[in-house]
Chain A
Amino acid sequence: MILLPCPWCGPRDASEFSHVGETPPRPDPRTATPVEWRGYLYLRANTRGWVVESWYHRMGCRKFVQVERHTDTNQTRPAPAGQSLR
């Protein structure tokens, strides 16, 4: 079982969450070229190691939360402070 540290509910089973994943910065739609916009839509770092990612706590507080997870071992820890909630 993988526990995700929800800042509102405490450690909860990962099955309560939907995975959102990496949230790359969104370019300004008014000025972004189609290639930039498609890069935002499709390209991901797909890091092997610690990543900060978004999860949606759909069966809990129904908030989007940031969690840090190691993608090789699935260890988790709270995301560093200052990470915006998207």
Chain B
Amino acid sequence: MPVNTNGRRRGRGRPGYPARYSAAALLYRGLIRREWPPAWRSHPMKSRYDVVIVGGGVHGLAAAYYLAANHGITDVAVLDKGYIGSGGSGRNTAILRSNYLTPEGVRFYDRSVRLYQHLATDLDYNVMFSQRGHLTLAHSDASLRTMRWRAEVNKAEGVDSEVIGPDEIKKLAPFLDVSQEARYPILGALYHPPGGIIRHDAVVWGYARGASARGVHIHQNTEVTGIDVANGRVRGVRTAQGDIATRTVLNATAGWSTLIADMAGVRLPVTTYPLQAAVTEPVKPFLSTVIVSGTLHVYISQTDRGELVFGASVDPFTSYSMRGSLEFIEGLAGHVLELMPPLSKVRLLRQWAGLCDMTPDFSPIMGPTAVAGFLVDVGWGTYGFKAGPVSGEAMAECVASGQPPGIIAAFGLERFAAGGLVGEKGAAAVGH
């Protein structure tokens, strides 16, 4: 008698439907002692797809998920040259915020934070979003002025941000050196309560699981080697595993976005820089907010496991190399200790680098290109991860309707030739 409305039971008749994650399902699995089914399936590659998405990171997988969930387009392939989430999605410092400088930027990133807020429920996957508050420190009059500007733009767009003084900063982050004797005294901060951190791998896996359940094919270890264009329109994609005929290709790569765009004959105003980050051994919880300092080129947060995650600005020269440097780690340690002297005995566990596609105005490039059927979601610089959900949602709409929706209208590729830049340099990155 089919009275049970539990998703797991209902899914039983549908092969490959992922088991619903719940306390009851966990107990059941424990009792029957059987393995969980894979969170997403693998398929043999077809010779034709309606939509091919290049890049299996949070952007590509979110676009695939929203194409299937919001627009019913399920004949979609997501290709990644490595494993999903092996690029920027697994290398960022997992900070979310929406306290940007331009109204276009604030509206866009605010939508992303709102999608992240109920992402765990939407995807039935614990993404561990912790809205713990975000502090951007000002060490000079000029940066304090930018903070005030950002706070006012944020408030006008309905985003919670305010400028606070050293006393309030000390209450939020007691280990911070707010004395006026510091080399770069802290004059104030932009406090942004909705900001926080999230488990970035879980976001990738959750979108992969949701997309796979709706029929999207995820092909890992499938490097794109060419894009066929005839008469100004996309005809197909060549990969290391075989050719695919398609009329729509979405370039959702980071680090390699210009290499993929070159295959379609589209030039992008993008240069690729490595960005290095590092993590310490776990310590007891003491830091309940995200700390960012543009002057000192560093951002600090403490994970749920107790490790301190440090990120920095991009390396001083363009490169596709993801090797770390001693010079970086020396500079980073000095800057961290400048902010939090008690950390001098904490040891670093490891450092790594990811690739950032920087654009001239520190805003992304999203939408159609001069080649019909070739869309881009690139140029994500140092701010791509936090925009994953809203980019996926907007690019899915762009693919489905053929028109970029209003929320990304300002971020089109044509803005560079037209001179309509969206300057976010003051709010998008540290160290400039």
Contacts and interface: CB of A to CB of B under 8 A. Distances in A.
Contacts of B270: 44, 46
Contacts of B416: 38, 42-43
A83 interface: no
B276 interface: no
Interface size class of A (residues with CB under 8 A): 20 to 34
Contact of A71 (B321, B323, B360): B321
B149 interface: no
A21 B327 CA distance: 21
Contacts, number: 51
Contacts of B259: 48
B286 interface: no
A58 to B, nearest CB: 11
A19 B318 contact: yes
Interface residues of B, number: 22
B327 A15 contact: yes
Contacts of B256: 48
A21 B319 CA distance: 11
A39 interface: yes
B320 A48 contact: yes
A74 interface: yes
B267 interface: yes
A72 B320 contact: yes
A47 B321 CA distance: 12
B320 A43 contact: no
A73 interface: yes
Nearest to B357: A46
Name, among A19, A43, A44, the residue most crowded by chain B CB atoms within 10 Å (CB to CB): A44
Contacts of A72: 319-321
Nearest to B261: A46
Given A41-B360, A44-B269, A44-B270, A35 B319 contact: no
Nearest to B321: A74
B321 A21 contact: no
Nearest to A44: B271
A72 B323 CA distance: 10
Nearest to B257: A46
Interface in A27-46: 34-35, 38-39, 41-46
Interface string B294-326: 000000000000000000000011111101001
Interface string A1-45: 100000000000011001101000000000000110011011111
A19 B317 contact: yes
A38 to B, nearest CB: 6
Given A44-B271, A46-B271, A21 B318 contact: yes
B417 A74 contact: no
A14 B316 CA distance: 10
Contacts of B417: 35, 38-39
Contact of A18 (B271, B316, B321): B316
Nearest to B360: A42
A46 B259 CA distance: 8
29 contacts: A1-B326, A1-B327, A19-B316, A19-B317, A21-B271, A21-B317, A38-B416, A38-B417, A41-B360, A42-B360, A43-B268, A43-B269, A43-B416, A44-B270, A44-B271, A46-B268, A46-B271, A46-B272, A46-B318, A48-B256, A48-B259, A48-B320, A71-B272, A71-B319, A72-B320, A72-B321, A73-B321, A74-B319, A74-B321
Interface of A: 1, 14-15, 18-19, 21, 34-35, 38-39, 41-46, 48, 71-74
Given A41-B360, A43-B267, A71-B320, 14 more contacts: A15-B316, A18-B316, A19-B317, A34-B419, A43-B268, A43-B416, A44-B271, A46-B272, A46-B318, A48-B259, A48-B320, A71-B318, A72-B321, A74-B319
